Structure 1
Amino acid sequence: MIKKLAVFLLLAGIAVVLAVGYGFSQLAQRQLAISERYFTVPAGTSARGLCQQWLAQGQLKTWDCQLLRLYLKWQPDLAKVRQGTYQTPDKPDLLSLLRLFASGEVAQFSLTFIDGETVQQALTRLQQAEFLRQDINDTSQILALLNWPADWGAKPQHPEGLLFADTYFYTADSTASQLVTRAQQALLHQIELAWQQRQGALPLQNRYQLLIMASLIEKESGLLAEKPLVSSVFVNRLNTNMRLQTDPTVIYGLTDYSGRITYADLRNPHPYNTYRHHGLPPGPISLVGASALLAAAQPDVSDYFYFVSRGDGAHVFSETLEQHNAAVRKYILDKKDD
């Protein structure tokens, strides 16, 4: 009798093990219908709590959650889900989701500040960034966050150009001010790198003027190979007390720019108009990247004083006004007559 009971218990134990094992295999295949691209696990959430949530939604059965309870005793690390926002797999199953949530590998989001854009345009991008907590409403707050080094001189009085143009990665619930601070720290680092590599006898008195020069270069050419040449034109003009006469500075100071610079625009006395004022404008006119900063610090050596757009993104550089006027006729005036 005892022998038969032992055999029965053994067989019953084997049956239970097989049943549980089968149940676990079924649990691993239990698909969940989650259409959202991202899934947020709030603080204090447990694996069993998530199972109950999906049970209430009709995605799981009571038996699934009972099996999961046993499974978590066998795999206790899987129960330690971490709060955060995760990217949902294409075909999520119950166990793979819990493994993801236990890993803490939250989704990474990105925001790009584009070289040549204004700080107001950068603020718009910032405010439209997904899963970013918004705590900046105005560009003046960007200026307030700036930690300008004391030995660099007076802190800038305008927020323009005070974010480094680059791509920044962040996790959900990061704040806009955190990204701004990182972009400003990156800018200060890049300015210092360029300043330390600057050529001697540049007509730039400080690092802020280097940033201003870089912004002019950034707005004039998007071609990496051209930027040091554009820089050389501005340096040659500054060294001979010629006005810089760069159109982007005219546009920057206008409040009603129509898309085409007029003679009245060129005569507008606003402080950024380098057709009316000698020297650099009072501040940057755009965000800059590393290539523009380096071009400002290391201009090519040239005899060029003029350049004009060819209409394909590149420019024609000239040493004399006569050469420049010929290039303007060829690439600007003739095209208008076509």
Structure 2
Amino acid sequence: MKKKLGFFLLVIIIFAIGINYYINYYIDISLRPVNSNDDKKIIVEIPEGSSTNNIAEILLDNKLIQNPKIFKYYAKKTNSDIKLKAGNYILSRNMSVDELLEVLIKGGTTGNTVDITIIEGLTIEKTAQTISEQLGLNYELMLDLMNNADYFSEDYQFLIDNPEVKSLQGYLMPETYNVYMKSDEETVIRVMLSQFDDFYKEDIMPLLSNSSLSILDVINLASIVEKEAVLDEERDVVAATFLNRLDVNMKLQSCATVNYARGEWKERLTNEDISIDSPFNTYIIEGLPPGPINSPGKNSILAVLDPADVDYLFFVAKGDGSHYFSNNYEDHLAAKNKYLN
């Protein structure tokens, strides 16, 4: 009888140890990030008077935690539940519960949000100016950060894959962003980089495998297409024309790159203009310039990755936003005489 009782107690003890191990393991798993590879910035508002339960539900709705009950239990266990503050927060799904609690204890901003619009084709100088003027931020600090891709090199997949990128010109995705008015320079830049990184992983990478260009070359050429093409329906044709020139070792002869080299925009360039001594003057240099001349929009990037199936080598602006395309120099000269004179 005693042997049976002893065996029964042993089974209970082993079962209890097993249950305890499972519970601890389940708690540990639930405290980990929802997705350690997802650094996309998520704006979350915690209203005044929110309980730990309210906060857990808000985080769950934004897919920032795995289990609201475990979150509440852990917050109480660590005495964090009485320290959580209301405010506006920029969080991400690669944050653990410990990291989320740390941020929520420090407190978020309480100001209102504002929309900032970054249009296609802006240089980093113009981008920094646009943001700093709208949000009252430090222009010089923002420009310094934009010129220092290495500072962000471990945080975004496109920079991890391409350590050669040293400036963020070309990678600050044109878009309308909703940010908090009290956001600092780095936070705003990170929101923009997250947007580009998502586009890189979801749209660029699948198409890049079918292209002979590197991502650096794609963004470089897309920045030229951005300034040369006015109509979206012509972007893939303009991209194809430039790619055809590269294939036959023909100079790109892009007016956009000359304007970038000159530092100002002119609709009509003179012979003196296109003779400027600059590595960005594609009337002189072979191939692509040293880097992007602006940050292109999604349509221009996709146009380079999926160009039109045409054999054009030339195009002339017709004056209404469209272009006349041709595959031989005689037609090109005739078009120039018709549309430019």
Counterpart in the other structure of 2:200: 191
Give the residue type in structure 1 aligned to 2:195: A
Q: How far apart are the structure 2 equivalents of 1:289 and 1:256?
A: 21
1:133-152 paired onto structure 2 within 5 Å: 133-134=137-138, 137-144=141-148, 145-147=151-153, 149=157, 152=161
Pair 1:297 & 2:302 matched = no
Structure 1 residues 190, 318: CA separation in 2 closer, same or farther (over 3 Å shift)?
Answer: same
1:254-269 paired onto structure 2 within 5 Å: 254-255=262-263, 260-269=268-277
Judge conservation of contact 1:214–1:292 (CA < 8 Å) in 2. yes
1:151-230 paired onto structure 2 within 5 Å: 152-192=161-201, 193-198=203-208, 200=210, 202-204=211-213, 206-230=214-238
Offset from partner CA, 1:233-279 (integer Å, 9 cap, x none):
01111111111111101111124766642212212231011111111
Offset from partner CA, 1:65-90 (integer Å, 9 cap, x none):
xxxxxxxxxxxxxxxx9668xxxxxx
Give the residue type in structure 1 aligned to 2:332: H
Offset from partner CA, 1:19-51 (integer Å, 9 cap, x none):
xxxxxxxxxxxxxxxxxxxxxxxxx9xxxxxxx
Offset from partner CA, 1:261-315 (integer Å, 9 cap, x none):
2212212231011111111111001111111111110001101111111111111
Pair 1:123 & 2:128 matched = yes
Could you tell me which of 313, 316, 339 is aligned with 1:308? 316
Pair 1:112 & 2:117 matched = yes
Give the residue type in structure 1 aligned to 2:165: P
Could you tell me which of 218, 231, 234 is aligned with 2:239? 231
Q: How far apart are the structure 2 equivalents of 1:203 and 1:332?
A: 34
Q: How far apart are the structure 2 equivalents of 1:324 and 1:199?
A: 33
Offset from partner CA, 1:152-206 (integer Å, 9 cap, x none):
3333233422311111101221112211111122223323422322473x441x1
Structure 1 residues 247, 199: CA separation in 2 closer, same or farther (over 3 Å shift)?
Answer: farther
Counterpart in the other structure of 2:334: 326
TM, length-normalised to structure 2: 0.62
Give the residue type in structure 1 aligned to 2:127: A
Give the residue type in structure 2 aligned to 1:292: S
Counterpart in the other structure of 2:286: 278
Give the residue type in structure 2 aligned to 1:182: V
Pair 1:252 & 2:257 matched = no
CA RMSD of aligned residues (A): 2.8
Secondary structure, counterpart of 1:253 in structure 2: helix
Counterpart in the other structure of 1:97: none
Q: How far apart are the structure 2 equivalents of 1:258 and 1:166?
A: 26
Q: How far apart are the structure 2 equivalents of 1:154 and 1:83?
A: 36
Secondary structure, counterpart of 2:340 in structure 1: helix
Q: Percent identity between the aligned chains?
A: 27
Counterpart in the other structure of 2:78: none
Q: How far apart are the structure 1 equivalents of 2:111 and 2:182?
A: 11
Give the residue type in structure 1 aligned to 2:326: S
Aligned residue pairs total: 233
Judge conservation of contact 2:257–2:282 (CA < 8 Å) in 1. yes
Give the residue type in structure 1 aligned to 2:207: Q
Judge conservation of contact 1:211–1:293 (CA < 8 Å) in 2. yes
Give the residue type in structure 1 aligned to 2:240: S
TM, length-normalised to structure 1: 0.62
Give the residue type in structure 2 aligned to 1:142: M
Mean Cα displacement is larger for which, 250-259 or 283-292?
Answer: 250-259
Offset from partner CA, 1:88-120 (integer Å, 9 cap, x none):
xxxxxxxxxxxxxxxx99633011111012111
Give the residue type in structure 2 aligned to 1:208: L
Q: Which runs of 5+ in 2 are unaligned?
A: 1-47, 49-84, 89-108
1:7-46 paired onto structure 2 within 5 Å: none
Larger radius of gyration: 1
Q: How far apart are the structure 1 equivalents of 2:130 and 2:139?
A: 14
Judge conservation of contact 1:115–1:165 (CA < 8 Å) in 2. yes
Q: How far apart are the structure 2 equivalents of 1:191 and 1:279?
A: 24
Give the residue type in structure 2 aligned to 1:129: Q
